[in-house]
């Protein structure tokens, strides 16, 4: 079987393309083009759009897998849950698998994604060989790093659908064994954790043992962890965090010379954060053992919690409950930022003093070497200009703080300023509050506008600033 190229959804994909193009033609001239999509992993509200959206049904599956060359052809709306379920049949997975099941491949590429392989495999778009993209002109184009649409290929990451929508992607895969051996290493200072993280990124090992997966959790200044994973085919017992047990709680232990150890199947490792949406399920009571015992297992997943968030956004449930208790409304602080890895402790110490949210997720990353031929030698991806040859730490925090009266976005704006001060960047999947000139400076305005003029000259698609900051 592994010697064959396996076709899965070729006919369905072509039918999906036909529906997509027909739906584009049905959108009135002057109306903005959007996806007709029921689900999302974005955390910013969007304005209502009266025009019909793009029909993406049929563009939600794996098209083919080439097990010999370790590549897959995947429709843009295919979720990583479905993608991984298919490729694991051949002992293969994408080089970076974002941590939530319903993130789509196209979404992770145009909106950036990250996970615990990012310190060695970079970001999802770096393992994309080719993209077929529906542009703002209604044309389908092929973008590769070495063809006439290379400018679109390099500008597409972090464009959030404002340069077009990926309908098909060819990606690289890597082999994986059945299990992941975990070490949970506790540190009693952020500075010591930072030093260990820098060393692991450079050496790919810790205390003489290989590290294939690397992320971490900060509970407080004196309780923080690196979670180190090693691929293995050694048989043995495995843990299960899809029921009563909660993964992020399992990593905690008293300070000691020896890390706490655990084992998971490769599939359970890849989705270890999805069951409780990292730790955000606690907001719904799902981590209370008395409630969890009766919580249907099929609803222990990020996509269901996201629906609950949607109800809160629609009816302001949280703010109404706060008002009953005499508390101010909450300002949502749901962000992922990147700072140079050597500034990790600077940011976390500031954050714990000024924006008291915990836990905090850490995920080191660096761009892949060598990058695609034709890429800029220093910053190959202009809309999210990380420097080649430099490691960063993604820092994620997802909660709320009391709103500052008369200053919408006060805490978020302070975070934006601090990240810029530390020569970092912020992901754009959630609320942003940048003035337009500052935004342009941070997110590659010159390169973006040149590509926008070429592939969306009539501005049928929103601009990146309209989408990310104005929430149009």
| pLDDT by position in tens, the chain (length 472) | 444 667 777 888 999 999 999 999 999 888 888 887 666 656 656 656 656 788 998 899 999 999 999 999 999 999 999 999 999 999 999 999 999 999 999 999 999 999 999 999 999 999 999 999 999 999 999 999 999 999 999 999 999 999 999 999 999 999 999 999 999 999 999 999 999 999 999 999 999 999 999 999 999 999 999 999 999 999 999 999 999 999 999 999 998 878 999 999 999 999 999 999 999 999 899 999 999 999 999 999 999 988 888 776 666 655 565 667 666 778 889 999 999 999 999 999 999 999 989 999 999 999 998 878 777 778 899 999 999 999 999 999 999 898 888 888 899 999 999 999 999 999 999 889 999 999 999 998 899 999 999 999 999 999 999 999 987 6
Domains detected in the chain: 5-175 (3.30.465.10), 179-272 (no CATH)
Question: What pLDDT is stored for residue 249 in this prediction?
Answer: 97
In angstroms, rounded to a whole number, what is the distance separating the alpha carbons of residues 361 and 58?
Answer: 35
Question: What pLDDT is stored for residue 51 in this prediction?
Answer: 63
* Token pair for 199: 């060393």
Question: What pLDDT is stored for residue 2 in this prediction?
Answer: 46
Question: What pLDDT is stored for residue 41 in this prediction?
Answer: 59
* Token pair for 421: 């001060």
CB atoms within 10 A of CB 425: 21
What b/e string do you get for 211-225 counting C-beta neighbours within 10 Å, with b at 16 or more? bbbbbbbbbebebbb
In angstroms, rounded to a whole number, what is the distance separating the alpha carbons of residues 150 and 142?
Answer: 9
What b/e string do you get for 321-339 counting C-beta neighbours within 10 Å, with b at 16 or more? ebeeeeeeeebbbbbbbbb
| 435 contact partners, CB below 8 Å, separation of at least 6 | none
* Token pair for 230: 């090693």
Q: How far is CA 164 from the centre of its chain?
A: 19
**Kindly report the CA angle at 404 between 403 and 407, in degrees rounded to 5?**
115
Question: What pLDDT is stored for residue 370 in this prediction?
Answer: 80
Question: What pLDDT is stored for residue 29 in this prediction?
Answer: 85
In angstroms, rounded to a whole number, what is the distance separating the alpha carbons of residues 54 and 106?
Answer: 15
- pLDDT per residue as tens digits for the range 404-444: 888 888 999 999 999 999 999 999 998 899 999 999 999 98
Question: What pLDDT is stored for residue 96 in this prediction?
Answer: 98
Residue 287 phi, psi dihedral angles, 5° rounding: -95, -5
- pLDDT per residue as tens digits for the range 92-143: 999 999 999 999 999 999 999 999 999 999 999 999 999 999 999 999 999 9
């Amino acid at each position: 079987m592994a010697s064959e190229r396996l076709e899965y959804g070729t006919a369905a994909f072509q039918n999906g393309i036909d529906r997509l193009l027909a739906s584009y033609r049905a959108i009135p001239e002057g109306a903005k083009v959007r996806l007709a999509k029921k689900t999302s992993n974005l955390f910013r509200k969007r304005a209502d759009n009266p025009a019909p959206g793009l029909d993406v049904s049929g563009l939600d599956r794996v098209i083919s897998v080439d097990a010999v060359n370790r590549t897959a052809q995947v429709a843009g709306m295919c979720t990583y849950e479905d993608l991984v379920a298919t490729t694991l049949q051949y002992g293969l997975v994408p080089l970076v698998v974002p941590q939530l099941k319903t993130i789509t491949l196209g979404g992770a590429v145009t909106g950036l994604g990250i996970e615990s392989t990012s310190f060695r495999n970079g970001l999802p778009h770096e393992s994309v060989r080719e993209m077929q993209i529906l542009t703002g002109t209604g044309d389908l184009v092929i973008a590769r790093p070495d063809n006439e649409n290379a400018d679109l290929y390099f500008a597409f990451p972090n464009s959030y659908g404002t340069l077009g929508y990926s309908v098909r992607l060819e990606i690289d895969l890597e082999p994986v064994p059945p299990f992941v051996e975990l070490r949970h290493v506790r540190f009693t200072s952020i500075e010591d954790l930072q030093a260990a993280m820098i060393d692991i990124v450079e050496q790919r090992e810790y205390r003489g043992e290989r590290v294939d997966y690397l992320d971490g959790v900060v509970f407080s200044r004196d309780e923080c962890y690196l979670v180190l994973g090693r691929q293995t085919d050694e048989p043995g017992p495995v843990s299960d965090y899809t029921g009563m047990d909660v993964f992020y709680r399992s990593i905690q232990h008293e300070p000691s010379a020896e890390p706490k150890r655990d084992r998971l199947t490769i599939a359970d490792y890849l989705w270890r954060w999805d069951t409780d949406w990292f730790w955000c399920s606690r907001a719904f009571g799902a981590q209370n053992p008395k409630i969890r015992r009766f919580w249907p297992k099929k609803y222990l997943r990020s996509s269901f919690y996201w629906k609950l968030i949607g109800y809160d956004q629609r009816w302001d449930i949280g703010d109404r409950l706060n008002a009953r208790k005499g508390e101010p409304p909450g300002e949502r602080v749901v962000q992922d930022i990147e700072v140079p890895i050597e500034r990790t402790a600077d940011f976390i110490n500031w954050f714990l003093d000024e924006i008291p949210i915990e836990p905090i997720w850490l995920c080191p990353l660096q761009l892949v070497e060598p990058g695609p031929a034709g890429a800029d030698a220093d910053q190959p991806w202009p809309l999210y200009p990380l420097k080649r040859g430099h490691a960063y730490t993604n820092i994620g925090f997802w909660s709320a703080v009391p709103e500052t009266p008369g200053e919408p976005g006060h805490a978020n704006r302070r975070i934006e300023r601090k990240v810029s001060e530390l020569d970092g960047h912020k992901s754009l999947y959630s609320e942003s509050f940048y003035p337009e000139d500052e935004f342009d400076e941070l997110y590659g305005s010159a390169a973006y506008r040149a590509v926008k003029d070429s592939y969306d000259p009539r501005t049928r698609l929103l601009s990146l600033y309209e989408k990310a900051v104005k929430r149009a």
